[in-house]
Amino acid sequence: MAKKQPDPLDIKVGSKVRALRLERQMSQEKLGDALGLTFQQVQKYEKGINRISAGRLQRIAAILEVPVSVFFADTKPSSAGAESLFDLVDTGSALRLLRAYSRIPSPALKRALTALAEEIAGGSR
């Protein structure tokens, strides 16, 4: 019997939970404690392995101080090669990079860093 795959919408919603949690510098353990769950359960929600109930999603939204609708904004699966903002900041390292970039005072240095990153990634989009 084939293993059941997570629903793409559950993956997108979980990804947004993760991005918003990381944005607030909140650990999975802290979110889990606020929900009365283990960090492993939060991890399963964020990966879309386990579906988040409506009531629990409402509690997550309250903890993260966002409207529930933010989890469903642009929930269409990304087209090939296109990434949403949530896809881009889904990792802690990407979020740290964005925070560091925002603290660079020099516009010229920001442009140079952007050009360097685009070159490393294989050209600009």
CB 95 within 8 Å of CB 22:
yes
Domain assignment of residue 79, yes or no:
no
Model-level pTM greater than 0.75? no
Q: Are residues 65 and 106 in the same domain?
A: no
Which pair of structure tokens corresponds to residue 54? 């409506």
Q: Are residues 68 and 13 in the same domain?
A: yes
| Rg of the Cα atoms in the chain | 17
Q: How many domains does the chain have?
A: 2
Domain extent for 29: 7-74+84-90
Q: Are residues 96 and 125 in the same domain?
A: yes
Residues counted in the chain? 125
Domain assignment of residue 1, yes or no:
no
Q: Are residues 70 and 96 in the same domain?
A: no
Domain assignment of residue 31, yes or no:
yes
* 3-class state of residue 91 by DSSP: coil
| Percent of the chain at pLDDT exceeding 90 | 49
- Tens of pLDDT, residues 48-93: 999 999 999 999 999 999 999 988 876 554 444 445 566 666 666 7
Q: What is the pLDDT of residue 87?
A: 60
Q: What is the pLDDT of residue 5?
A: 86
DSSP code of 69?
A: G
